[in-house]
Amino acid sequence: MTLLIIGGTGTLGRQIVKTALDEGYQVRCLVRNLRRGAFLKDWGAELVYGDLSLPETIPTSFKGVNAVIDAATVRPTDNYTAETIDWRGKVALIESAKLAKVKKFISFSSVDAAQNPNIPLLDLKLKLIAELEKSGLNYTVFECAGFFQGLISQYAIPTLEKQTIWLLGSMYPTAYIDTQDAAKIVISSLKIENTMKKLPLVGNKSWTPEQIIRICERLSGNKANRSYLPLILLTSLRSVLRSLEFTWNIADRLQFAEIQPATNISTNSQSNLLTLEQYFQEYFSKILKKLKETNYQQQNNDISFL
């Protein structure tokens, strides 16, 4: 089976590519920067040029493709808006998939999308699901909560380096999952003919920011510096950024601070998933070992013999 993967250079996308290759699939990656995607080629994937902001570049990549996995989304630093990538580009993907008669179309959304249509990026996700429902394609939308990898820069590094961790007064629990486990779940769904149309892609336990910080403190041996931001301050900043077209994507990301959680917080019942404690234990063990080695080398270099 040949898979077309969009967003293969991203945090989740690269793990999906690697897992698919390990499982023996033929993998083709649609990339707009061939140099940036060179590591995917080194892994064994075929690279084809394509840009969701230029829909005319998409159809040729579908030749011989059996299934599509769309893990792309607009980045805060992109020059174009979410409307360009997460709506017009995705609609072009769906139309190309219909013409190519692909057997499976996999996309991603948020577990909280239905409760937050006022957030532009989530509203686009909801519109895309409606488009998939009308398409006649055999599709699955995985609804994500968050990934362990994003917690490193948000909590682990600031705790290690004694930097400030900025928090909101009220932040709800999130069932984070490791991207490697998430990729395995996504690829395994290709082997199931009649999968559900929407599936949660979440971890086996929900965590609040305070609980995550405590883990970082325990494993690092450092006390975290917490500082709380009033929501009204972020709302005001978002309004300013939204008034400037080139900062729209940043403003839309800031609005995620206003998200209303789903009524029922989903968790995964699979017992073989990596836990957050295990993930952080591995991370801090590697970092602290490296710091000790660096300190040892520096101490030896300071010794002079007369």
CB 25 within 8 A of CB 3: yes
Q: Tell me, what's the pLDDT at 241?
A: 52
Calculate the alpha carbon distances from 235 to 93, 113, 168, 255 in Å: 33, 19, 12, 7
pLDDT at residue 257, rounded to an integer: 55
The pLDDT of residue 190 is 95
Q: Is 46 part of a structural domain of the chain?
A: yes
Q: Is residue 133 a part of any domain in this protein? A: yes
Has residue 221 been placed in a domain? no
Q: CA-CA distances (angstroms) from residue 68 to 3, 20, 186, 203? A: 6, 12, 11, 24
Whether 10 contacts 72, CB under 8 Å: yes
pLDDT profile of the chain (306 residues), mean per 10: 96 97 98 95 97 94 97 79 90 97 96 88 94 95 94 94 84 91 97 82 94 96 88 61 53 52 71 94 90 58 44
- Structural domain count of the chain: 1
Contact 276, 207 (CB under 8 A): yes
For 125, the domain range is 2-147+176-201
Residue 121 C-alpha from the chain's centroid:
14
Asked if the structure places residue 134 within a domain, the reply is yes
Q: What is the pLDDT of residue 244?
A: 56
For residue 55, being part of any structural domain is answered with: yes
Do the domain assignments include residue 275?
Answer: no
* pTM score of the predicted model: 0.86
- Does residue 225 sit within a domain? no
* CATH code: domain of residue 104: 3.40.50.720
Q: What's the rounded Cα separation, in Å, for the pair 30 and 46?
A: 9
- Tell whether 259 is covered by a domain: no
